């Protein structure tokens, strides 16, 4: 008889190893260190509390906003630099180092994501994580596994 439990090795590890939850202070430091951050907001941003938070973040560091989905009407009279862009196209563009950006000043080094449907933003960030050096910080209530 053979003892199959002796020296058993597990080759499967569950969960992700790249994205880690962190404190708001560390996220703020990462955002402050970014040379060209971009706040990418989704349709859930039309919640008044989230909209106010996004406007405060954008004004505090003069961060441009990429409004995706149906989020653009929330920023019309808010005195922020918001431009509409399709989320999947944005994910494609930020992987190109020659992309001029939404403002014509070059591509971005850090994406700050807020107010997205989880499975949409995970797909987009999967591409940016694997095919570019762009960092992503999710400041949403959901755990976004492809935020780096």
pLDDT, one tens digit per residue, over 91-130 is 999 999 999 999 999 999 999 999 999 989 999 999 999 8
The answer to whether 116 and 47 are in contact (CB under 8 A) is no
Place of tokens 């918001």: 82
Residue reference for tokens 């399709």: 86
The predicted pLDDT at position 148 comes to: 77
Please, what is the average pLDDT of the chain? 88
Q: What is the pLDDT of residue 107?
A: 93
Bigger pLDDT: 40 vs 20: 40
pLDDT, position 8: 60
Structure pTM? 0.85
DSSP state of 72: G
Domains of the chain: 24-138 (3.40.50.1220)
């Amino acid at each position: 008889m053979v003892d199959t439990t002796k020296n058993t090795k597990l080759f499967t590890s569950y969960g992700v190893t790249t994205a880690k939850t962190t404190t708001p202070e560390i996220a703020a430091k990462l955002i402050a260190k970014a040379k060209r951050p971009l706040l990418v907001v989704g349709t859930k941003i039309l919640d008044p509390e989230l909209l106010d938070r996004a406007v405060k973040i954008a004004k505090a560091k003069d961060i441009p906003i990429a409004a995706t989905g149906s989020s653009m009407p929330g920023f019309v009279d808010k005195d922020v630099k918001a431009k509409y862009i399709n989320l999947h196209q944005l994910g494609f563009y930020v992987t190109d180092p020659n992309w001029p950006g939404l403002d014509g000043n070059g591509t971005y080094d850090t994406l700050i994501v807020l107010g997205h449907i989880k499975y949409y933003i995970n797909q987009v960030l999967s591409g940016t994580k694997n095919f570019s050096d762009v960092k992503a910080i999710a400041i949403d209530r959901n755990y976004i596994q492809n935020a780096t």
